Amino acid sequence: MKINMIKSRVINALPLLFVAFLISCEDKKLQSPEHKIDLFADERHEGTAYVMSEEECYDQSQMVIASSDVKLVDSSSGRGKAVFIYKIHSGELVKTTRDSAVNYPLEFLSNYKLKLPKDSMYLYLQKLNGYRFIAKEKNLKYQWLKGASVYTVGKENK
């Protein structure tokens, strides 16, 4: 008789336990409290990259080529740094500190995807640093000048 009473109490309590379980497992949204004082305001910086002017690019580069025949040949991104390889099919040598003559087609490496205009542009190059396996395989000697922007030939750039 006592066993029957215990079973009936357990059976009557099961719906209550089930409802309590459902309420406790309800999808709760994450709430972030609003803080009036920002303790880390000095540590948070906007990511602004420094872009060199045309004169700075010219002065700091080891080779400047004016060309309208530049194509993206190869790119790799995902693991490690992004790498873009461009090929110059023809162009006019404007400045050089290393080679007096340039053999075309010439390939160079860039860490950024360049916005290539339809018109002629200046290519600001420097000696390739690092990337020895890519340099050996692709016979690369130059890379895009870090911080340089793409400037078109013969137009005023701001």
Spans of the chain, pLDDT less than 70: 1, 25-35, 38, 40-49, 155-158
Angle at 48 between CA 128 and CA 147, to 5 degrees: 25
pTM of the model: 0.65
Domain count, the chain: 1
Tokens encoding 139 = 């016979």
Domain span at residue 114?
A: 54-152
74-102 pLDDT, tens per residue?
A: 998 877 788 999 999 999 999 998 777 88
Give the per-residue pLDDT at 44: 62
Is residue 21 domain-resident? Answer: no
Is residue 114 domain-resident? Answer: yes
CA 3/CA 143 separation, integer angstroms: 86
Q: What is the SS3 assignment for 93? A: strand
Give the per-residue pLDDT at 158: 46
Is residue 38 domain-resident? Answer: no
Instruction: Assess contact for 128 and 142: CB atoms under 8 A.
Output: yes
Is residue 31 domain-resident? Answer: no
